Amino acid sequence: MAPSDGIVDLLVLGGGTAGIVGAKTAAGFGARTVLVEQERTGGDCLWTGCVPSKTLLSAAAQARSRRLAGGGETDFFAVRERIATAIQCIEPVDTPEALEDAGVEVLSGHVSFTGPGTAVLNGQVLRFRQALIATGGEPSRPGIPGLDPARTVTSETVWDLASLPARLAIVGGGPIACELGQAFARLGADVTMVVRSRILPKETPEAVDIIRASLKADGVTILEKSSISHATSPAEGHRLHLKDGTTVDADTVLLAAGRTPRTTGIGLEHVGVHLDDRGRVLTNQHMQTTNPLIWAAGDVTAHPQFTHLAGVHASVAASNAVLGVRRRISPVIPRVTYTSPEVAAVTSGESGQLVTSRTVWHSHLDRAVTEDRTEGFTELLVGPGGRVLGGTIVGPRAGESLAELSLAVHKKLTTSDIAGTTHAYPTYSDGVWNAAVLDVRERLKSPLARNAVKGLATLRRLALDARRISSKPGTRPQPDAQH
């Protein structure tokens, strides 16, 4: 059925994670849902983001182990093949066919709003009751005079490199720069990162110190608090001129300096959808834009740019749109940067409630000791009454240990809840357990808790003494009824 035959309940702009989850949610509720994708469904995460980058990191870790064991260099073509295989394996859940199976109509082309309740696609008018903007973002291109953009790569095009660059310069120091920088260095490239701020500006200084040391150990040169004034192009490659007068020579320059939301050319001005001062679609806690019949989710909004948030926020938006309910997005946000070691953190938006933090260094974590990976730590942020407000974990597979912490924050659990849960030994999750036990122990040192414990012990002693005195000499002690 052509979509212009009737009014669509929910028109979804974009077929990345946010669009796919939003469309499937709406169709699952029985809404007539049309998703329009201009390129290929699956979006950034599948094609150029999470999936290729995590596969690259895994291949690079193996390449490093092989090299350390005296094995040969890694074939870059084989790495590319491995990335393609991972994408192929995951792609089927994101295809137009999978969406159609879930009850979503999928159309191809660039869609834009033309007025309230109308949009245009390939010259055809689409009429809709409500819409979900899920158009994502694209790599920002910092204006560097003299740098030919056609000769640089971004997170969208780095996957097309035919061979491993001998010298790779990366502009930026966020998760993309750190993950790709470490991966390329481990594969054998000579990597230099030029970063305006410090690396990973959202992470704690203690976490960043560990990642910086790890990147350096892999041979990455990190130039922090550095600005590029201009670039020149020698016969081969690029020369970046820094404001301090030094230069960086590279065969390939990777631009990883943040992402820009895709909001131009989609007719937002015709539907009253407003942007913030950084060009991101403004939403409220229900993922509703400034037009109450238009919703938004994913990288096009002002929320942190993660696949899990894109999906969860799109689900909230679609439920609210189709069912007329008022679901709110959760303030609890987990994130993981997949460097080696990983940096995993969860925040609750309640930092004002912070009472203390408890840190267990992994030099005291038995699993880390047995694996000779003691560089990390587990830090719990603790609020009143031992409430777990968030935390940071740095270590191998820190992202897996983060799940427990995310649940604790989401469910408003206390350190006593975690301390009272038996954890298998020896695991990296012991770090979370030990930090919680540390907090409980410290809180037991308060005068009130100390007096209560002292009182209980005294009562117990008195009870035992009374029993001893009343029992006849020579009789065997009776087992305590309570045990």
DSSP 113-127: EEETTEEEETTEEEE
Where in 331-350 is the site for ligand NAD (CB under 6 A)?
335-338
By CB under 6 A, tell whether 201 contacts ligand NAD: yes
201 burial (CB, 10 Å; 0-12 / 13-18 / 19+) is exposed
Task: Using CB under 6 A, pick the residue from 3, 136, 181, 188 that binds ligand FAD.
Answer: 136
Per-residue contact flags (x/-) with ligand NAD for residues 286 to 315, judged by CB under 6 A: ------------------xxx---------
In the set 22, 43, 52, 172, which binds ligand NAD (CB under 6 A)? Answer: 172
- The pattern of x and - marking residues 222 through 251 that bind ligand NAD according to CB under 6 A reads ------x-----------------------
SS3 281: strand
Residues 129-148 that bind ligand NAD (CB under 6 A): 142
- The partner in contact with residue 304, picked from ligand NAD, ligand FAD, none with C-beta cut-offs of 5 to 8 angstroms by kind, is ligand NAD
Among 177, 268, 287, 322, binds ligand NAD (CB under 6 A): 177
Inter-residue contact 235 to 150 (CB < 8 Å): no
Q: Which stretch binds ligand NAD (CB under 6 A): 192-200, 238-246, 384-392, 431-439?
A: 192-200
Q: Which is nearer to ligand FAD, 114 or 359 (CB)?
A: 114
Q: How far is the CB of 392 from ligand NAD (least distance, A)?
A: 14
Question: Is there a cis peptide before residue 396, judged by omega within 30 degrees of 0?
Answer: no
Q: How far is the CB of 112 from ligand FAD (least distance, A)?
A: 6
Report the residue from 60, 153, 222, 257 that binds ligand NAD according to the rule CB under 6 A.
Answer: 257
Least separation, in Å, of the C-beta of 135 and ligand FAD?
3
Q: Which long-range contacts (CB under 8 A, 24 or more apart) does 354-361 make?
A: 354/381, 354/382, 354/383, 354/389, 355/382, 355/383, 355/384, 356/382, 356/439, 356/442, 357/381, 357/382, 358/382, 358/415, 358/435, 358/436, 358/438, 358/439, 358/442, 359/435, 360/431, 360/434, 360/435, 360/438
| Residue 43 sits in the site that holds ligand FAD (CB under 6 A) | yes
3-state helix, strand, coil in the chain (%, to 5): 40, 25, 40
Q: Does 378 bind ligand FAD (CB under 6 A)?
A: no
User: Helix and strand tally (H, E) in the chain?
Assistant: 13, 22
